[in-house]
Amino acid sequence: MTYTELSIPTVLTEVPPFSLLPRPKLEALSSRCQLLRYRMGQPMLRRDNLPHQILIVVEGEARLLGLRPLTQLPFTLKTVGVGGILGWVSLLRGIPCETANAREETLCITLPTRDFVQLVQSEPAIAQYFNEQVDPSEIADLIGESLKREAKSAADLPELLPDLQSQARVKTVDPGTLNATDLPKGYEWWVSGRGQVSGADAGDRLGPVSSPLEVVSNRPVRLLGLPLHHLTKLIQAKGIAPLPPWAIAHWTSNPPPKPRLIGAKPFPLARICPWRPTPTSRKPWVSPPRAAKNAIPTYEAGDCSIAPWPASPWSQSTSTCPSVAT
């Protein structure tokens, strides 16, 4: 498929939730979209920055990546194919959490961030669709940050993510008071989006909610609930396992202390020469080696010979070796 053959409005009519828009609004939205092609392996999103656009995959595939808690090693969350949307969950949360690379040559329709936010605010059907969706990068980000703070490890996080995503619940709450009865029971709740909820900031874990919550924010706050029985299998309360010597401990905050000089001790300088073979041990057909010009005289001492250094300021003195301590 070439760019000239591709009609953006026609493609968007087959991609939910944009297919819910009337034709005039869909065409107006399409006029602000662009086509962008990514090479194989090229980064599409980075979790360090909020995306400046959302991506709708038209051709090819993208790989959504997450980080293992503590070790911070990447793993594949899922593969996003044709019709998949990238970047929306970071914009709804107000916190970047997505890392995506092109698995192969990938063609995407891009929609600027401002237009996407205006669309969500002006179209209730679009807002309801995204507010009910759970992205695996959101789950991996919240669990990973929580485990790093508590110095715990997670067993089989990549394997349990599909079950967590299928049973997760999302609640978007307006500023004010939220009753505990408004949240399903049997879930562990996190503050997923920006804003404060009963003193908890974005990324903090609320735990099972049994009392009213006070939402302090100038906009709705996104809460994420994960089933308790899955979290019990996932989170193991144990200390940080030792890493191999070549690994980098990402959670260390203070560097090791620098060594300081506390004194110096003298030590003698000497050269240890190799064993000198006797004439009887030398092979008869090999002529004895000639002494080099200005050779350093040697002195026999048991099984080895010790030769002094040439005349220099160092030959009549001793050197010092600094001692260090930490």
Q: Would you identify the CATH topology of the domain 135-241?
A: Jelly Rolls (2.60.120)
DSSP 181: G
Pick the CATH number of 1-133 from 2.60.120.380, 3.40.50.300, 2.60.120.10, 3.40.50.970: 2.60.120.10
- What does the pLDDT look like over 127-184, one tens digit per residue? 999 999 999 999 999 888 877 776 565 556 777 888 888 889 999 888 888 887 888 8
* Residue spans per domain, the chain: 1-133, 135-241
**Two tokens, residue 66:** 């997450």
CA 46 to chain CA centroid, nearest Å: 10
Question: How far, in Å, CA of 206 to CA of 221, rounded?
Answer: 13
Q: Does 239 have pLDDT greater than 50? A: no
Q: CB pairs under 8 A, 24+ apart, for 115-119?
A: 115/29, 115/32, 116/53, 116/54, 116/88, 116/91, 117/91, 119/29
Which of these ranges, 58-62, 202-206, 266-270, has the smallest mean pLDDT? 266-270
pTM over 0.85? The answer is no
Residues 296-322 as b or e (16 or more Cβ within 10 Å = b): eeeeeeeeebeeeeeeeeeeeeeeeee
Common-topology check for domains 1-133 and 135-241 = yes
Cβ neighbours around 268 below 10 Å, total: 7
Query: Nearest Cα to 69, choosing from 158, 178, 130, 9?
Result: 158
Q: How large a percentage of the chain has pLDDT more than 90?
A: 40
